[in-house]
Structure 1
């Protein structure tokens, strides 16, 4: 067995949605450092382009920032068109863009519910659908194209926060990975989900030493997530090493869901 390129993603083309911060930035950083050509998108043009420049400088790789609002199918179509103008094939699609709405059950609004569902669930489906021509062009029998949905430990374990739409959307994403995997395997496309635990970001802020002690105390590994934790999982799924893994949900949460 030749394992020299088993985990290689060198020269693969990747798109990471919501790639300007948090989990998306961690994954984009890892993919670029491993030699992939990475497109990241986010709503704010200045922020996504600045992040792309930072990631390129940090890794020595190629990172391109594209502004995109994935909360509508028109925004998704614009992103796909922008990538299609530049590339003839796509090898890695990371559906990471997401949002959260927190409120007591008696006060939870329809607007908050719909915003979460549109970005966390509807967008990954239609983004994948619109990218299928490029993904089919990028996949081969021995190295399929990889779609990676970002789920959540919140779909594996109910936490203390009242984030009803978020948890429902992430549970649905886990099952969406399975249903897409069953259909797209024949097209040399794998579809999996990563379920991150507590990674510090704009969405999950540790605001005090007391809070940090509480969070870390719930995690058997005794720490919050680091960039290489989630980047490593994505690289594995996108490499030949992960070519026989599809329809799976991989928890990257230090044992938090146990």
Structure 2
């Protein structure tokens, strides 16, 4: 899809799911800095309120917040209706909400896989289907009142087409790493959906950008859930996510994501490691699989009496490792900065 002269984001209405903390909060912040009106949502109302105050204190032009579980049966309609009520329509939909469960497949349950699919595939799907009619309109009537029957607004002009969908997928949705299989399976499905939507909706003027991030320093290690041997699973996951050579500064990632949406790029892969992994898997899938197999052998086994879904904060206390704490320093700072709850 060609870049158009009217693709600036100023004045656009955006909905960002999972935006009370971490990457979602940063994407909302970056959109607001570019002049967007932003609706943020998350399940935790108190956390969402803090995020709204943070954005307003930083000079966001117009921010609204709606506490909402995106997996709920009426969530998609509530969110789209809220955007239309607050802003007159919707121009940008960012499907970011997600969860991550870490541990061997033998420590997971079918419910873990279903929860991942509901959160990271079916919830985005429902939102896309609900938002499409509004995105096809190009959002809003600007400079006047809404006209009868969807025609030109009185005293203004009607902008048609040009909606954007941004899908926050993952490297895990292109290369299935061990010990995150519920997450990887849902992200694979989401990546396929996003790429298919790109092809189908281009003719209607709606662009779809698939974002494939690698590890980012968002503080998500504090919110991840660990099964099997939680302390040992936390050790490798938190250390990997916090190392500068493996992970990316989250603020820089958010800027790259919003820039890709503005330019209507079909895909953006973040971090050098993620780019290398995607290319290697495309050129030599068997070699990639052998490398992942070797890596899986180094990861902890479930054990005879595996724990299930232990939050990252508790897993860190169980581990009690000063060495891991030092490695995760940058990520811990990001957690505090990005509204992640780090206290016990």
Native 8 Å contact 1:103 1:163 kept in 2: yes
User: Is 1:237 paired with 2:254?
Assistant: no
User: Is 1:155 paired with 2:173?
Assistant: yes
The equivalent residue for 1:168 is 185
Write the mapping of 1:68-87 to structure 2, written as runs, cut at 5 A: 68-87=68-87
Native 8 Å contact 2:19 2:28 kept in 1: yes
User: Is 1:124 paired with 2:127?
Assistant: no
Native 8 Å contact 2:213 2:274 kept in 1: no
Instruction: Count how many residue pairs are aligned between Structure 1 and Structure 2.
Output: 244
How many Å separate the matches in 2 of 1:55 and 1:228?
14
* TM-score normalised by structure 2 residue count: 0.64
Native 8 Å contact 1:105 1:162 kept in 2: yes
- The partner residue of 2:218 within 196, 201, 207 is 201
* TM-score normalised by structure 1 residue count: 0.83
Q: Evaluate the alpha carbon distance shift between residue 253 and residue 188 of structure 1 in structure 2; reply closer, same or farther with a 3 A threshold.
A: same
Native 8 Å contact 2:26 2:254 kept in 1: yes
Secondary structure, counterpart of 1:73 in structure 2: coil
Larger Rg: 2
Segments of structure 1 that go 5 or more residues without pairing to the other structure are none
The equivalent residue for 2:56 is 56
Residues 34-89 of structure 1 show CA distances to partners (whole Å, capped at 9, x for unaligned) of 11111110012222122011112124432211111111231222222222222332
Runs of 4+ displaced beyond 6 Å: 206-210
Deviation (angstroms), 1:238? 3.0
How many Å separate the matches in 2 of 1:114 and 1:209?
25
Segments of structure 2 that go 5 or more residues without pairing to the other structure are 140-158, 225-233, 277-344
How many Å separate the matches in 2 of 1:196 and 1:66?
26
Q: Once superposed, what is the RMSD of the aligned Cα atoms?
A: 2.8
User: Is 1:182 paired with 2:206?
Assistant: no
How many Å separate the matches in 2 of 1:30 and 1:52?
14
Native 8 Å contact 1:195 1:251 kept in 2: yes
How many Å separate the matches in 2 of 1:233 and 1:6?
19
